[in-house]
Chains A and B, each alone.
Chain A
Amino acid sequence: MTLLTRDDLIRALRELVVELKTGGEPVGLRVVGGAAIALRHFDRHTTADLDALHVRPGTDDAVTEAANRVADRRGWDHGWLNFNVTNTGSEPLYGRPTAWETVYDDGIIVIQVAGADTLLAMKLRANRPGRDTDDIRKLLAICEINSVEGADVFYSECYPGESLPDRAWTMVSSILQTQPLTKPELVDPVDLS
């Protein structure tokens, strides 16, 4: 399907909120990955989908059904919002507390996006060349990590007992050698009301 822009994501999340309200049950939705970056942090142009963690409170099935209704109206494929990331073990659960920023809260439906440090940890874990490199560069700048040793310490804090993967080490070293880190311009706050 066609890649999603930030505007696509915002419009779809607004429709999702309406759908979830109709259900009447409390829902806590947490967004990670490229969609979280595009919604809260910096301009990323497009993303393939919206990666979400397991819903707490509420159920993944209820959110999936609501997301499918949004997809049908917009002519998108089902799966634009998915929980695939929860199967990868990439969420930093056991280290430093993860930061979440609330972008919508009406007392029943709460939508949060991952903070920059959580996203950096997950991107360093994935370290897919071409796909994650520029995100890592910008998130390093936001998190003010200026050395590969600093990145390694940060990674171990997020994933206790683990070191920065070899390829991520190479990528961070190259990023820091090729050009000074520059903080990207923050995107405007999201209004999902």
Chain B
Amino acid sequence: MTDAGALLRAARSSRRLTQEQLADRAGVDQARVSRSESGRESPRFDTVDRLLAGAGYRLYAAPTRRDDVATTAGRIRQSLEQGDRHAALRHLIQLSDDLLAEKGLVRGVLTVSPPGTTGEKVWDAALAAVTAWRLNEDQIPLPAWVSEPSRTLAPPRVLQIDEADPVPTPADVPVEFGQHGVLAWADTFSSV
């Protein structure tokens, strides 16, 4: 299920608004913004609609039950905060699988809302890399957030999942991962 808190946080972050600024625009108090974003409570639909409108967004329905990039970013952030990098990778792989499972515009729709930060630049870059990789495969235009400078690392880095993981050579890395400075094996994202 889509995480409303992640969508709200991502929408606000994309406009570079503080919670207080968004609260002012939406005519609610800052505590409500905080509670809605944190996931501590499930916000009412009209609250979500109002807060999204305050950030210049509107909610639409898409014919898919798959998670979008913004929701995945929230899950990766949560896994990293818990120190579970294996879980973070599984969420990234699941995003890749979900994008592959959809075609055309619906695949693109899953990437439209800019994801909030995961708390680690290499994971923020990896989200952009997976998105670019899967959209390019279906010749779908990339959303602007993918090209933000903060989502490209120089020099390239690995995701550091397991200390026993070998480091890939550039030939082992999908082109889009190389462009975003993330060293990840292409077949890590393949089903057996």
Residues of B contacting A130 in the complex (Cβ-Cβ under 8 angstroms): 86, 89, 159, 161-162, 165, 184-185, 188
A167 to B165, CA, bound (A): 10
A84 to B98, CA, bound (A): 16
Check B142 for interface membership: any CB of A closer than 8 A.
Answer: no
A77 to B67, CA, bound (A): 11
* Contact A129 to B166, CB < 8 A, known contacts A45-B87, A77-B65, A77-B66: yes
- Establish whether residues A90 and B166, one from each chain, have CB atoms under 8 Å apart when the complex forms: no
CB distance from B158 to the nearest CB of A (A): 9
A170 to B185, CA, bound (A): 14
A50 to B119, CA, bound (A): 31
Q: How many residues of A contact B (CB 8 A)?
A: 33
Residues of A contacting B94 in the complex (Cβ-Cβ under 8 angstroms): 1-3, 48
Check B171 for interface membership: any CB of A closer than 8 A.
Answer: no
A33 to B90, CA, bound (A): 14
Contact among A47, A75, A128, A131 for B65, CB-based, below 8 A:
A75
Residues of B contacting A76 in the complex (Cβ-Cβ under 8 angstroms): 65
CB distance from B63 to the nearest CB of A (A): 12
Check A62 for interface membership: any CB of B closer than 8 A.
Answer: no
- Establish whether residues B164 and A1, one from each chain, have CB atoms under 8 Å apart when the complex forms: no
Question: What residue of chain A has the Cβ atom nearest to residue B187's Cβ?
Answer: A128
Check A64 for interface membership: any CB of B closer than 8 A.
Answer: no
Contact among B1, B84, B161 for A129, CB-based, below 8 A:
B161
Instruction: Using C-beta atoms within 8 Å of the partner chain, give the interface range for chain B.
Output: 20 to 34
Contact among B86, B87, B165, B192 for A126, CB-based, below 8 A:
B192
- Establish whether residues B66 and A1, one from each chain, have CB atoms under 8 Å apart when the complex forms: yes
CB distance from A98 to the nearest CB of B (A): 16
Contact among B84, B164, B188, B192 for A174, CB-based, below 8 A:
B164
* Contact A167 to B1, CB < 8 A, known contacts A75-B65, A126-B192, A130-B161: no
CB distance from A102 to the nearest CB of B (A): 23
A 28-72 binary contact with B (CB < 8 Å = 1; else 0) = 000001000000000001111001000000000000000000000
CB distance from A173 to the nearest CB of B (A): 8
Contact among B162, B166, B184, B187 for A134, CB-based, below 8 A:
B162
Residues of A contacting B192 in the complex (Cβ-Cβ under 8 angstroms): 33, 51, 84-85, 88, 90, 122, 125-126
Check A137 for interface membership: any CB of B closer than 8 A.
Answer: yes
CB distance from A87 to the nearest CB of B (A): 10
A 105-126 binary contact with B (CB < 8 Å = 1; else 0) = 0000000000000000010011
- Establish whether residues A48 and B164, one from each chain, have CB atoms under 8 Å apart when the complex forms: no
10 further A-B contacts with Cβ under 8 Å, apart from A3-B90, A134-B162, are A1-B98, A2-B67, A47-B90, A77-B65, A77-B101, A90-B192, A129-B166, A133-B162, A134-B86, A170-B166
